[in-house]
Amino acid sequence: MTFKVVITLLHLAGDEEECRKIGGELFTTPCNTEDELIAATQDADAILTGMECLVPFTRKVISKLNKCKLIHNIGAGYEGIDVQAATDYGICVSFAGDYCSEEVAEHVMALILACARRLTRLDRAVREGKWGFTAKQEMPEIWSPMFQIKGQTLGIIGFGRIGRLIVPKAKGFGLRVIAFDPYLPSNVFKESGVESVTLDRLLSESDYISVNAALTEENRHLLGIEQFRKMKPTAYFINCARADFADEEALYTALTHGYIAGAGLDLVKGESISLDHPLLKLENVILTAHSAWYSEHSMSEIKRRAYEHLGQVFRGEWPTWFVNPEVKEKFLERWGKA
């Protein structure tokens, strides 16, 4: 028996052979509307999707899935899937887990260093013919204030896999590390040699603040204008997690009013950016195009895990990175076996 697998992402197109190895036939169908998504997926046995999919898997879409046993999110999050609806309809939801944790931790450190050393601005100055100490005299706003990061403080919001991976890298540069995560027991922080602090204390003490947590309705816009005003005017905000942790308008205000020194961002609201976006006009912002996850290793791993999860469900097993294990009873009622 051949299983129909629908993938809504173009960047994983071309893996038909991998899909055939596990008994599936791959159909690549990017969708721009909810109706298109329903038409493309209603007879699928499994679905591969991700943040780049323009249309979320809402309860309406999920209710039309007549054969689907698995929705796998090709990435570290699954905000685009109504997990409760999938559970109600007996559909497993899985994701790629920690496939890119090292890459993201490295990217956070790269942005910290680039902000601290003004790398992008100094690079542009050289390309404009400015060199050496003369450049400092001609462009003092680029050079000052600039501090060595040894002895400074990094505050990590969200102390999960990625947050903990950042710690030894940061300490290697002599940074003191503190963290805020109200959902973890104190021993988790102690094991990493990190002090657990309140959010207000983290905001006021940190020279660099990195957000590394899963986005929920509870922490959406966790950082607004009130929080940015509590930060040091010399502090930098680093975000390689999700854009909606910060109110983007509040961030822009903080950057243009001197509430903070700058930002290193791997994401913007809406997952794309136009050339007239206000953040692109700011010299104190470094932007990367949601690339923190990427390396040759992570790209290979993200594909491997996608087909591993498909194979598990097709063989009657539960997926390794299971988002909704509470679905098991409903799944068995609907499909008869795992």
Q: Are 58 and 35 in contact (CB under 8 A)?
A: no
Residue at token pair 């903990």:
164
Question: In residues, how long is the chain?
Answer: 338
Give the whole-angstrom CA distance, residue 117 versus residue 140.
Answer: 14
Q: Is the dihedral of CA 119, 124, 130, 136 positive or negative?
A: negative
Residue where the block lists tokens 């498909």: 310
Location of structure tokens 């097993």: 317
> Catalytic pick from 271, 283, 326, 329?
271
55-61 long-range contacts, Cβ below 8 Å, gap at least 24?
55/8, 55/31, 56/80, 56/81, 56/82, 57/81, 57/82, 57/85, 57/86, 58/34, 58/82, 58/85, 59/85, 60/34, 61/34, 61/37
- Which of the following is catalytic: 72, 121, 290, 309? 290
> Residue 49 forms beta bridges with which residues?
73
Strand pairing category for 262-265 and 236-239: parallel
Residue (of 88, 102, 164, 103) closest to 324 by Cα position: 88
**Spatial distance between the Cα atoms of 213 and 235, rounded to a whole number of angstroms:** 20
Question: Is 271 an active-site residue?
Answer: yes
Sign of CA dihedral 282, 284, 290, 295: positive
Which of 72, 107, 121, 242 is flagged as catalytic? 242
Q: Is 31 helix (H, G, I), strand (E, B) or coil?
A: coil
* 242 is an active site residue: yes
Q: Is the dihedral of CA 186, 191, 192, 194 positive or negative?
A: positive
Rounded CA-CA distance 97/305 in Å is: 9
Known catalytic residues? Answer: 242, 271, 290
